[in-house]
Structure formats: structure tokens, C-alpha cells
Amino acid sequence: MKKTFELSAPIDLSPSTGEYPRMDARKLLLTITLPLYVIDQITKWWIVLNFPLPSIYSDLNRKIVVIEDVFNIIRVHNTGVAFGMGNGTAWAPFVFLTIPIIALTVITLMWKKGVFTSWQGKGAFALLLTGILGNLTDRLTQGFALEHLKDESFWTRLMNGYVVDFLDVILPWYGSWPTFNVADSCICVAAVLLIVTAWKDESKANPKSA
């Protein structure tokens, strides 16, 4: 007697719902978050190991010109956040070590409550984790790689952690855009995906206005 096996129902990719019920957190972490996190860290450590310490007082800072007057690779230490806010302040190391931990906790709770249901939302979740973990790793480790602090206390070296930025883009109507990295890029893409998600949710709630 032949046994028959019933195939499980296919994943519903209906555009009407936009939900991917089987795309669990582990799959997102393995396929999106982890690979991009590894790329982020490899590129940053390559910069640290191959570029001298940046100095605002020196013209000898290394720069790799990828596209003349458009795109360069440089080394920048950012102890603040986007656009250099808080950079160089005494309070920045403590505050910007605490905020990512709070953000990770909030995002995890939002996932467990089912906030990220559409593919855009799930993608944003994975990219936000990449961005936050990538820059948090910098703040926790880079201070210990500074040679001039090797004899300092653990706390001093931790508080001298910084985010490695290296992508330097020059916009014709703006000038040099604030230097960024792979983790920053992930956060920006996640923000766009969240805006799209919010717009789609608004369209569903008010179909006449869409």
C-alpha cells in the first residue's frame, strides 16, 4: 500500500495583505542581518588597519579617490550620531552606548507584538538590527584598538569608542555629505521601508483617499 504525503500549503504572498507569515526572525537574521553585519565590520576594520588616525590638523590623511569629486574612501571617527551631532562631547560616549541598547530592546518587543507584518516591515526590522548592532560594536571595541590608549583603564578605553565612517560622497548641490558606513546605510534604507509601510497602512485604512 503506497503512502501519500500531503504537501503543506504554499506561503501566501497575496499583495492584498503583504504578509509573509513564515518569514521568521531567525531567517531574517541569517539572510539579511548577519551578512550585512559581517560586511559592515570587515569594511570598518579594513579602514582601521590600512588608514592612519584621522587628524583635523594634518593634510596627510589618506584618501582613496573612487570617482573624482564624487566619491572617496576616507577614515573618520564619529563619537556622535548622524551628521556628527554630539561628536567630541564628554557626554556622547555614555549616551550613545545606552541609546542603541534601548533601541534594540524596543525593536525586539515590537517584533514580538507583531508590528512588522509586511515584507517592507520585516526588511526594516532586519536592517535596523544590522545598523544598530554594527555601530554599537564599534563603540564597544574601537577604543581598545587605539594604540595611544593601551595603558589606560578599561573605562577610559571604552569611553573613547567611536563609530568608523569611511564613505565620503560629494553632492553637487550640497558639497560633502556627512561621512557614513554600511550600518548607517542599512538604517537609512530601513527608514524608507518604514515610511512605505506607514503609507500602505494609511492607504488601507482610508481606501478612498489612496
Catalytic sites, residue numbers = 165, 184
* Strand-strand pairing, 71-78 and 175-176: unpaired
First to last CA, the chain: 57
Whole-number Cα distances in Å, 169 to 52, 66, 174, 189 = 20, 10, 10, 17
How many angstroms separate the CA atoms of 41 and 164, rounded? 9
How many angstroms separate the CA atoms of 80 and 126, rounded? 23
36, three cell numbers: 550585512
The sign of the torsion formed by the CA atoms of 48, 126, 115, 187 equals positive
134, three cell numbers: 554594527
42: number of Cβ within 10 Å:
11
Using a 10 angstrom Cβ sphere, with 0-12 exposed, 13-18 middle and 19 or more buried, the burial of residue 1 is exposed
How many angstroms separate the CA atoms of 145 and 141, rounded? 7
